[in-house]
Amino acid sequence: MSIQELCTVRERQALNSTMFALTMEAPRISAAAQPGQFVHITCGEANLLRRPISICQAQDGLLKIVFVVKGEGTKWLSERKAGDVLDILGPQGHGFDMDALGAHPVFIGGGIGVPPMLLTMQTARANGAQPSAILGFRNRDAVILEEDFQALGTTYVATDDGSYGIHGFVSDVLGAHIEEYTSVGCCGPKPMLRALASIAEEAGIPCQVSMEERMGCGIGACLVCACALKAKDGETRYGHVCKDGPVFDSKEVEW
């Protein structure tokens, strides 16, 4: 069920030159939020469509989002400050199936796919699991939220150029540690998700993928989010990341 709430900004943080975090008072949406879901936010009068942004944290009546400035809407959002009021609709979409994780899930995020994995890891831990995380970034300057993940379990950070943490991709790190895990939950660009899904499949453990990078409007209006899925009869069917996802079982996706 989606809730519309007028939310007062408590805190704005610039995480680096293009990524920002907003923490807002959103008691009803934060109480209803499930890991992997997103919210729809109005971004000023000049921007008609709400922007879909994943939920990074939801607790004690507060909702935290982390986003990258990509256009006018997110630029407007990045300029909000404490005391401003935002019109938010959510939570939206299908999140992670938390019953399918087992005792040692690993949560993997790439770039802007990292923030939603924080609420997912927090929830898994609160449910009694011992989760780990693997976070991938382009370079040192792009690294975000590392300490938040570390507080919840073993966390590996990898950078594409080796300027921080492990030099390589999150798939390299997963491959090296796969035997320690009971399931994989991940969010990031499609090639990354495909690589992770294939490692998990080979190891015989479940993998859930959040394909939110493919979302545009988030309400079924732009159709950029169409994705090929496997139908039960073996045929291909098309779904929408914003309505049917963003989280799917990796075996459902036509890679």
| Residue 76 beta carbon to ligand FES: minimum distance, rounded to whole angstroms | 19
Residue closer to ligand FES, measured from CB, 52 or 131: 52
Tokens coding 132: 């780990």
Report the nearest approach of ligand FES to the CB of residue 226 (Å): 8
Give the residue ranges of DSSP H helices in 79-162: 115-126, 146-150
Question: Binding ligand FES by CB under 6 A: which of 224, 228, 231, 238?
Answer: 224
How far is it, in rounded angstroms, from Cα 17 to Cα 8?
Answer: 24
Complex with ligand FES: residue 133 or 211, whichever CB lies closer = 211
CB of 246 to ligand FES, least distance (A): 9
Quick one: 40 or 64, whose CB is closer to ligand FES?
Answer: 40
Name the residue nearer to ligand FES (CB basis): 69 or 219: 219
Q: How far apart are CA 87 and CA 5, in angstroms?
A: 6
Please give the residues from 181 up to 220 whose contact with ligand FES meets the rule CB under 6 A.
215-218, 220
Q: Could you tell me if 211 and 248 are in contact, meaning their C-beta atoms sit under 8 angstroms apart?
A: yes
- Residues tagged in the binding site annotation for FAD: 51-54, 73-74
**Residues near 227 by Cβ (< 8 Å), separated by ≥ 6?**
211, 214, 238, 239, 240, 241, 245, 248, 253, 254
Report the alpha-carbon distance of residue 132 to residue 154 in Å, rounded.
5
- Interface residues with ligand FES (CB under 6 A)? 215-218, 220-225, 240-242
